[in-house]
Amino acid sequence: MVTIVRAGSGELGIPAGLPILFDADMAIIEPAFVWLMEHAELSGRAQASETVRTYGEHLYDWFDSLEQSRIEWREADERVIAAYRNRMLENPSTHTGRPYARTTINARVSTVCRFYAWALDQGLIDHCPFRLTEKMTLMLDGAYRPGLQRRQVNALIVSRPEKLPRPLRADELARLFAHLKPTARLAAQWALGAGLRRKELCALTVEQLPDSWPLDLGSDPLVGVPLHITKGDRPRTVYPPLRLLDHTHWYVGEERARIVRRIRRSDQHYRVPPNLLLNEHGRAMTRKLLTAQLAEAFKAARLHGTLHWLRHTFAMAMLARLQVQARANPDLNPLKVVQVLLGHASITTTAIYLRCVELHERDLSESLAYLYGELIPNDD
């Protein structure tokens, strides 16, 4: 059985957190180690990036599958990778008991194929175990006009039916927030008010919060907050409403302080994490726990959705608002602004919201009012 171990701090030349794979004989799987080290060195950080850790988990699953099938990694061909993909399509996850999402399957297969493409370049294998096929896809040109372009697509990638995200209506948002506890509620407010992802929410620290008391709601309705830990490790700045910053400072002084005082009474050696969001044990909120708390709230509110739906709602509400402003300011490009706010690498990813705005225009007008009105309570 393959084992995965995270490198500790202080390991000479190895970033902390780097996933290291061992085979059944507890020997390091060297090609995987070298490939992951190269990605870690490209990030230029003392710690392994989230992307590297994700790649490590994908390779762990792949090499473990190979070992169970008694296949040497160099001998894997397209049929072996296809069989690996098909097992995920046909069987539920052993960790969650739920079917694999097609995005998860494609991410794992893509990582495996990136690894083998690298191995081919390094001369470690003499054949490429996957094929690229040509496909016509809808893309946006430099002026953000749609058009068809030819691109190479991995033949092993599973096609996914298009699922357009739907914004949560004002009444749905009110029901959802009524079932959220303070810490999860604050996370949801940041997702809805500034478009943050789970990873970004859990990494947000108290020190990142700018002081809001010298600012004025009329002249400073939005304040920039730089994010450094993001998807793909691409730093960006988000702009939460000033009322959200005010409420966040209230949370730090009241709810978060209550958790810290309670833990300190029972543990005199307790050290407060820098993270904004703490669980009831005084530790940094994890993505897994945050996901679970939001799932419980959605279920209690009799709604279908996840925390990411709040980010979708932010994106569509912001796009609708900017489109109105663009009528008076032709130089404003609403889609480009939303791309920057969301941290999308490609404008094509953001463009899906254009169709969503058209489909849900009425709901969005109410969501906008909730986003900038009732989302943040008065704490005085």
pLDDT digits (tens, 9 = 90+) for 8-53: 876 678 888 899 999 999 999 999 999 999 988 876 666 768 888 8
Confidence check: pLDDT of 225 > 70: yes
| Tokens, residue 109 | 């297969």
Give me the residue spans of the domains in the chain.
Answer: 3-121, 170-374
Q: What is the reported pLDDT for 95?
A: 75
d(CA 357, CA 195): 16
Q: What is the reported pLDDT for 134?
A: 64
Q: How many of the other CB atoms lie within 10 Å of CB of 234? A: 11
pLDDT digits (tens, 9 = 90+) for 236-253: 999 988 888 989 999 999
Q: What is the reported pLDDT for 154?
A: 81
Confidence check: pLDDT of 178 > 70: yes
Confidence check: pLDDT of 109 > 70: yes
pLDDT digits (tens, 9 = 90+) for 316-367: 988 888 888 888 888 888 889 899 889 988 887 888 888 788 777 767 666 6
d(CA 38, CA 48): 11
Highest mean pLDDT pick, 82-96, 292-306, 357-371:
292-306
Task: Compute the average pLDDT of residues 95-104.
Answer: 83
Q: What is the reported pLDDT for 226?
A: 92
Q: What is the reported pLDDT for 373?
A: 65
Tell me, yes or no, if the pTM score tops 0.75.
no
Do 370 and 174 touch, CB atoms closer than 8 A? Answer: yes
Q: What residues contact residue 227 under an 8 Å CB cut-off, 6+ apart?
A: 196, 200, 203, 204, 208, 235, 236, 237, 238, 343
CA nearest neighbour of 318 among 377, 238, 219, 247: 238
Beta bridge mates, 231? none
| Tokens, residue 10 | 């202080």
Confidence check: pLDDT of 77 > 80: yes
Q: Provide the CATH number for the domain formed by 170-374 in this structure.
A: 1.10.443.10
Q: What is the reported pLDDT for 140?
A: 56
